[in-house]
Amino acid sequence: NIIFTMEKEKGNTSRRPGSTPPPEGPPASKYSRLKSAATSDQRQPGPSHPASEAGSSTDASSKTAGRGTSRTRKLVNADLLNSRPVHVQTSKKGTGGSAIKLQANFFKILSAPDWCLLQYRVDFAPEEDRTIVRKGLLRLHKEKLGIYMFDGSAMYSCNRYQNVSKTQAMELFSERNSDKSKIKISIRLVGDLTKGDPHYPQFFNIIARKGLEHLRLQLVGRNYFDAQARIEIPEYRFELWPGYQTSIRQHERDVLMGVEITHKVMRQETLLDILGRTHNNARGGDIQGACKAEVIGVTVLTAYNNNTYRIDDIDFSKNPTSTFRLKKNETLITYMDYYYNQYGIRINNKTQPLLVARLPMRDRRAGKDELLYLIPELCKATGLTDEMRTDYKLMAKLATFTRLTPERRIDRLLHFNKRLQSDPKVVEEFSQWNLKLDTNVVEIPARVITPENLVFGNMKQSATQTADWTRHFRSARLIVCTKLAEWILIVPERIRRDAHSFVSNIIKVGQGMSFRISQPQIREIRNDSAQSYAEELERVLSHTVPQLVCCISARSRADVYAAVKKKCCLDRPVPSQVVLSKNLASKGAMSIATKIAIQMNCKIGGAPWSIDFGMAGLMVVGFDVCHDPNQRGTDFGAMVASLDRGMTRYFSSVSSHRSNEELTNEFSINMVKALRKYSQMNGGKFPTRIVIYRDGVGDGQIPYVLEHEVEHLREALAKLYGRADMVKLTFIIVTKRINTRLFYNRRDNPPPGTVVDDVITNPWRYD
């Protein structure tokens, strides 16, 4: 049994830092943790903050320091997990396909051949618990120590100090300002910081983030944005701020800086504007409920400190004249006076309710209150509303700036690199650590897999290099054709003409694929509200059960789609299809009708095509988890499993769970159900090989999935099959939220079927 993790990392980065082969792998089907330079018995108890204090000119900002212990623990869980299987310890690179060269959105971090990063333990006598005081006491010796970073207990430097070892300490003396006490500082060597230590990438990221600050970029949330290069879109009352997501990590041989071009929508209206508009629209109704529905979940920017917060509630019992106690001296003060004294801001509206934001756990551990009260007048909304997303013109306007061609994206990346290389402060920041950023994006070897042959009802055809076989349906039959004899079409009366055109087109394209479609029973509704569709569906489905129901919607509306699917999946189960009317009258109406016909055929038991699999006895499984924001604490797991060799028939199941244990149990139970269904359809035989694609797993959850979910599944398989070796299991964790961008010849996207398994991949994963 083999455990794979299939993942594309955010950040990938000549001799260069970390240019060492991957460590030896873990035992079969288990994970191991890579040793850190400082073991638990070498470090003092206390807060394990990221390396954030630097001597000389590299004092880290408060935005980087003080993350708390949980962040470090999370880093250890995610980055030090070695899930690379034993059989690919020497090499995980494949050989099939045609070799090509790609570029990626990474820059190498260059260093001298003998570059190293050393970790030292720092002790204070008498003991000093306050990290900020520790940093100040050590900073007095920056000329002697040279460049360093210090997190309160561990110090990192490229300097190997004379007569300092694990047993012999360097002793320094400082005077504490508060009581003029003489403090002895002892510095001992812990060892070279290896690429397996969580502080290793942290060190590089601190340097990179300081470089971004030197470029006068603005930190909004976790990313930096260029407010000076903002793009104003006045007709929609918002600005678009271009920015950069950066991440530095150890990759196969090098430390790479990954850079992704990003954008932030900054609306020009405050939360007070939104509340006022909502108040006016809800007159006579539940005003407070309407206001909460409008702003809860919105992320806001507070310009006075450039912080972002997610709004969790509105407190209508508080306003800017309400008071709270200052932590430093317990003095009562009004919010109005606080903002004027602290920021010189005068609040105009004295009756506005206060917004409530729940601070993240790391801030609460740092001693901050759980709830933060914000003034609507001082909060600007960020991001797009659902209404904005359905505005085709707005989204098209936005796409002209955010959807970059590969060539434009590389130009933007190189421009960003040039800004870093030409700024004296950034160059100094890197050079004092004997580091340099490469001037060009990284090049990587890749392979393009040979296209598979598709099996149709009357022919075989290559999937082609472009992975587009739509035109083949002009002469190809569907592999399994059904007859759609009884179906109902629901359409708003004002677009009935589009409905008749759609029916004509879909019958015509169906004939070419040997999919026989009869005329539907057309039911007209007065308007296109979600309620109208739900009521009409109830009237129809309470008297008859057609093969399929098709609803045409005049606009792209989530509530209409949800109403149709709820009625047809839960209340009155029947296959359903939702179609947008704008697609029926477009230039590609026939092509769209072809794709809709293929879907309809599948939903009533047919199949469009298959692939000529050479592997018999194979079951492919997909599993994902949905976190429902409306039901906190309850998640839903969905699974599909193939039931035939052609991969055209599937078993599916959905289950709710409130804990990881429930998810693990439900997954195993549903897998057994799928296997029994497979046996029923294959003459009593179970599959001999199972490949599971597992989505919805964060890095920190991989140990749990491996130790519990996979083990529980193995036990269930052994019980069903009689012996564990009767079936081979491949478990693949899929990570989709990535910032990796690949380019071919610097101006194109990679061809379909491209595989990248070197340079930018993680040395401790099978990715």
The three-state secondary structure class of 257 is: strand
Alpha-carbon span 700 to 717, nearest angstrom:
26
Q: Are residues 505 and 515 in the same domain?
A: yes
Share of the chain above pLDDT 90, in %: 52
Active-site residue flag, 192 = no
426 within domain boundaries: no
Whether 99 is in a domain gets the answer: no
Give the model's pLDDT for residue 362.
56
Annotate 672-689 with b (16+ C-beta within 10 A) or e (fewer): eebbeebeeeeeeebbee
144 within 8 A of 172, measured Cβ to Cβ: yes
DSSP state of 278: H
User: Which domain-ending residue is among 573, 608, 643?
Assistant: 608
Residues 251, 320 within the same domain: yes
Distance CA 756, CA 624 (A): 24
564, 645: one domain: no
Tell me the C-alpha distance between 80 and 196, whole Å.
6
pLDDT at position 24 is 38
Residues 206 and 349 in one domain: yes
**In this structure, are 260 and 250 located in the same domain?**
yes
741 to each of 103, 104, 439, 465, how far by Cα in Å? 8, 6, 17, 20
Pairing, β 218-220 against β 106-111 = unpaired
Residue pair 122/154 in contact (Cβ under 8 Å)? The answer is yes
Q: Tell me how far CA of residue 659 lies from CA of 134, 300, 558, 631, in angstroms.
A: 42, 31, 29, 13
pTM across the whole model: 0.80
Supply the pLDDT for residue 6. 41
Query: Quick one: pLDDT at residue 69?
Result: 30
pLDDT at residue 367 in the model:
54
Evaluate whether 12 touches 761 at the Cβ level (below 8 Å): yes
CATH code of residue 208: 2.170.260.10
- Taken as a whole, the chain contains a residue count of 767
DSSP state of 376: G
For residues 641 and 742, membership in a common domain is answered with: yes
Domain that residue 173 falls in:
112-193
Residue 77 forms part of a structural domain: no
Task: Report residue 421 as tokens.
Answer: 């290389």
Task: Please list, in sequence order, all residues whose beta carbon lies within 8 angstroms of the beta carbon of residue 570, skipping any fewer than 6 positions away.
Answer: none
Interatomic CA distance for residues 674 and 677, integer angstroms: 5
pLDDT at residue 21 in the model: 39
Residue of 695, 699, 748, 757 marked catalytic: 695
Give yes or no: residues 284 and 394 share one domain.
yes
Gap between the terminal Cα atoms of the chain = 17
Statement to judge: residues 223 and 302 lie in one domain = yes
- Say if residues 752 and 450 touch (Cβ distance below 8 Å): no
Let me know whether 503 and 630 are in one domain: no
Token pair in block for residue 74: 């999370």
**Which phi and psi angles does 502 have, rounded to 5°?**
-65, -45
Q: Which residues of the chain have pLDDT under 70?
A: 1-80, 360-369, 474, 629-630
695 catalytic? Reply is yes
**Residue 240 DSSP SS3:** strand
| 58 belongs to a structural domain | no
656, 657, 663, 667: CA torsion to nearest 10: -20
Looking at the structure of the chain, the number of domains it has is 4
- Kindly name the residue from 624, 628, 635, 699 that is annotated as catalytic: 624
Q: Are residues 547 and 599 in the same domain?
A: yes
The reply to whether 439 falls in a domain is no
**Pairing of the two strands 548-553 and 487-492:** parallel
634 and 596, same domain (yes or no): no
Note whether residue 455 is domain-resident: no
User: Which of 141, 164, 193 represents a domain boundary (last residue)?
Assistant: 193
pLDDT in tens, 11-70: 333 334 444 433 333 333 344 444 433 333 333 333 333 333 444 333 333 333 332 333
CATH of the domain at 720: 3.30.420.10
- 15 found inside a domain: no
DSSP symbols for 535-562: HHHHHHHTT---SEEEEEESS--HHHHH
* CATH number of the domain encompassing residue 158: 3.30.70.2620
Residue 733, amino acid: I
DSSP 686: P
Domain end residue (candidates: 403, 419, 448): 403
Indicate if 697 and 627 belong to the same structural domain: yes
CA distance 101 to 447: 8
Assess if residue 456 is contained within a domain.
Answer: no
User: Residue 564 belongs to a domain with what CATH number?
Assistant: 3.40.50.2300
